Amino acid sequence: MSIVNGGVDPFTVEVIRNALTAIAEEMSLIIMRSARSPLLREAGDLSSALTDASGGLVAQGRDIPAHLGIMGSTVTEFLKRVPAHRLQPGDVWFLNLPEVGGNHLPDVKAIRPVFAEGKLQAFAVNLAHWADIGGARPGSYVPDALDTWQEGLRISPLRLFTADGPDREKLDLVIANVRGGSEREGDILAQMAATRSAEARLHELFDRHSAAKVQDAIDNLHDQSESEMRAAIRALPDGVYEGEDFLDNDGIDRSPIAVRVKITVKGDEAVFDFSDTDGAARGPLNATPFTAAASVFYAMKAIAGPDIQPNAGCARPLTIITRPGSLLNPPRESPVVGGNHETSQRIVDAIFKALEPAVPARLSAGGSTTSGLLLFSGIDPRTGRWVTLYEVHGGGEGARIDRDGCPVVRAHMSNVMNTPAEIIEAFYPIRIERQTLRRHSGGDGLHCGGDGQIRCYRIMGPEMAMTSMVERCDVPPFGLQGGRPGKPFRIELIKASGETAAVDGKTHIRLHKDDRIVIETSGGGGYGAIPRTGTQ
């Protein structure tokens, strides 16, 4: 070909891009099909990626926004702990440390170095949310955790598999420290098997095109994504934009916590400065800088460039600043479990509110930017087995300039589905008494926010524990351009005796037979002020 982009033509780059994406997609398919945790098999709370030899993200499979910025940092940070010369063909390393390119402990990453032509060429990496990673409470959500050790097992980079097979003693150490023995071992095997298939596919690709040509194509793909991100930034008017939104509380102290952003857009570069965000929380609502990066990437894609290919090139025109010691760059000992899906969402909200004066027509009003997580666990008397139901709850979508919000849908950083009532009743000692729309919960406006939902859980076993990790109970989803906010979340306990009590968004309670939990999810914010009646 006459055109040379570092030795590879643009058509071959596109052919290799498709092949790399197919490899990442295949990894996720394998995990979903063979894993044990319901979170992986039903809800697909996992991601897969390929990186280059230095850890730069190359391709991502099943694209979970919350994982995007994370996967881009995991291998880079891993290589700071484990230098490349210690890696061998056949290794699979596992880790979950938040400070090593991580987000929270339940998201465990598996990393396999891939060699060809005698040298390290790439990494196959996947991230899977384990249903339990140990710690103070089943399910590893500890709403009143004061440090990271209460949240579970901290796995620093650990070689669980070599070319000779599993390292049985290390594997046993991990399994001994988390709940759900064989289920966890199944997840580990699924993550390992997925990286093995990725390695085989990468070898086929290197054989077909040569490793050097694939590397050239990867450099090219990084350049492409960089120019896609620059184009997205150019689509925003130059200026300095400030926005803030608030977490209800951190589960320990009762006061709201501010996430503040100052966005400076200049030409094709942008700075996201979170320095004015409040200090690190005592409770588990802290987020890592990697999570902050994931939120910024998501917001940029959603607002300005939905087709940007996720890889290391995206990051080049962006500068993300977090202040050490703050909520988004907390000390090492800080608990973080909720930061991953609560605080990350509030970062997106703050960015949206900052950009309201600049590009209101591109934005949606506030949605249910929380996992709305209720976690039930206990013995199922029908089987005698310990079961844990991890259930997320979506609310109404925020309205837009040209339409109402949709009822009951997950917002922004997450897209995890619910568990059908028929599955819950078959596998957990719980009855779903009803699941209905929460009518008139969306905020008013020229266009109204979508309605939330109401779901009622009745405990059928003698006893269960319930943990909540729900935001937007106090601070409601915001309206845009004069639209009204949606109704906030509300959780109520109706005891078997008939006595009722409000349940906090971040708490841990014990439930008994015939107790009921009713969760009402938030309505979306409205868009546009309703003109006063009487004016023509």
Partner 1 sequence: MVRSWTVGVDVGGTFTDVVATDQLTGAVRTAKTLTRAKDPIGGIEAACHSVELAMDDISDLILGTTMATNAIVEGRLAKTALIATAGFADTVDIGRQNRRELYRMDVTPRPEPLVPPGLRLEAAERLDAEGRTVTSLDDGEAKRLADAVKALGVESVAVCLLHSYVDGRHEIRIGEELRHKTPFVALSHELNPEPREFERMNSTILNAALMPTVARYLRRLEDRLGKGTRLHLFHSAGGMASAASVETRPLSMALSGPAAGVAAAARVASQLQLPAVIAFDMGGTTTDVSIVVDGKAQIGSNHRLAGYPIRQMMVGVESIGAGGGSIARVENGAVRVGPDSAGSDPGPACYGLGGTQPTVTDANLVLGYLDAERVLGGTVCLDTQRAAASLSSVARAVGTSIHEAALGIHRVANANMVRALRRVTVESGVDARACALLAFGGAGPMHAVALAREFGISRVIVPRYSSAFSALGCLVADMRYAEQRSLRMPGSAWDSARLAQVVDGITARLATPLPKSGHDGDGLKVDVVGLVRYREQSDTVEVPLTAPYDPSAISAAFEAAHRRLYGFATDEGWELEAVRVTVFAGANRPIGPVPRATALRSCKASRRAQCWFEAGGPATTSFYDREALIPDERIAGPAIIEDPWSTVVVPPGAAVWADGHANLQITAIETAR
User: Which 51-70 residues touch partner 1, going by CB under 8 A?
Assistant: 63, 65
Least Å distance, CB 233 to partner 1, is 13
Least Å distance, CB 355 to partner 1, is 13
Annotate 373-428 with DSSP letters as a single string. Answer: EEEEEEEETTTTEEEEEEE---BPPPPBTTBPPPSSB--TT--PPPPPHHHHHHHS
> Which residue in 173, 271, 437, 446 binds partner 1 (CB under 8 A)?
437
> Segment contacting partner 1 (CB under 8 A): 70-78, 255-263, 408-416, 501-509?
408-416
Which lies closer to partner 1 via its Cβ, residue 208 or residue 254?
208
Least Å distance, CB 411 to partner 1, is 8
Query: Is 422 among the residues that bind partner 1 (CB under 8 A)?
Result: yes
Q: What is d(CA 440, CA 421) in angstroms, rounded to the nearest whole number?
A: 24
> Segment contacting partner 1 (CB under 8 A): 36-44, 237-245, 325-333, 468-476?
36-44
Q: What is d(CA 495, CA 1) in angstroms, rounded to the nearest whole number?
A: 74
Other Cβ atoms less than 10 A from the Cβ of 80: the count is: 11
Other Cβ atoms less than 10 A from the Cβ of 423: the count is: 14
Cβ neighbors of 79 (< 8 A, separation 6 or more) are: 54, 55
Query: Is 298 among the residues that bind partner 1 (CB under 8 A)?
Result: yes
Residues binding partner 1: what is the number (CB under 8 A)? 84
> Which residue in 162, 435, 462, 530 binds partner 1 (CB under 8 A)?
435
Least Å distance, CB 246 to partner 1, is 22
Query: Is 431 among the residues that bind partner 1 (CB under 8 A)?
Result: yes
Q: Scanning the structure block, which residue is given the tokens 């994370």?
A: 70
> Segment contacting partner 1 (CB under 8 A): 51-59, 103-111, 390-398, 495-503?
390-398
Q: Are 62 and 47 in contact (CB under 8 A)?
A: yes
Query: Is 78 among the residues that bind partner 1 (CB under 8 A)?
Result: no
Backbone Cα Rg of the chain: 23
> Which residue in 80, 254, 434, 510 binds partner 1 (CB under 8 A)?
434
Which lies closer to partner 1 via its Cβ, residue 116 or residue 145?
116
Cβ neighbors of 49 (< 8 A, separation 6 or more) are: 24, 57, 58, 59, 60, 61, 71, 72, 125, 126
Amino acid type, 184: R
Which lies closer to partner 1 via its Cβ, residue 401 or residue 509?
401
Q: Strands, DSSP E only, in 173-311?
A: 239-247, 257-266, 269-273
Which lies closer to partner 1 via its Cβ, residue 16 or residue 285?
16
Query: Is 3 among the residues that bind partner 1 (CB under 8 A)?
Result: yes
Q: Are 294 and 65 in contact (CB under 8 A)?
A: yes
> Which residue in 83, 164, 384, 426 binds partner 1 (CB under 8 A)?
426
Q: For 437-454, b where at least 16 C-beta lie within 10 A, e where not — what string?
A: bbeebbbbbbbbbbbbbb
Lookup: tokens for 508: 């841990």
* Interface positions, 185-244, toward partner 1 (CB under 8 A): 185-186, 189-190, 193, 196-197, 204, 208, 220, 223-224, 227-228, 231
Query: Is 394 among the residues that bind partner 1 (CB under 8 A)?
Result: yes
Q: What is d(CA 82, CA 435) in angstroms, rounded to the nearest whole number?
A: 49
Least Å distance, CB 210 to partner 1, is 16
Cβ neighbors of 52 (< 8 A, separation 6 or more) are: 58, 121, 122, 123, 215, 218, 312
Lookup: tokens for 492: 């109520």
**In this structure, what DSSP letter does residue 423 have?**
H
> Segment contacting partner 1 (CB under 8 A): 12-20, 51-59, 251-259, 322-330?
12-20
Query: Is 22 among the residues that bind partner 1 (CB under 8 A)?
Result: yes
Least Å distance, CB 33 to partner 1, is 4
Least Å distance, CB 187 to partner 1, is 10
> Which residue in 112, 129, 222, 400 binds partner 1 (CB under 8 A)?
400
Query: Is 492 among the residues that bind partner 1 (CB under 8 A)?
Result: no
Classify 373 as helix, strand or coil: strand
Which lies closer to partner 1 via its Cβ, residue 210 or residue 227?
227
Least Å distance, CB 266 to partner 1, is 20
Least Å distance, CB 525 to partner 1, is 13
- Residue 388 backbone zone (phi > 0: left; psi -120 to 50: alpha; other: beta): beta
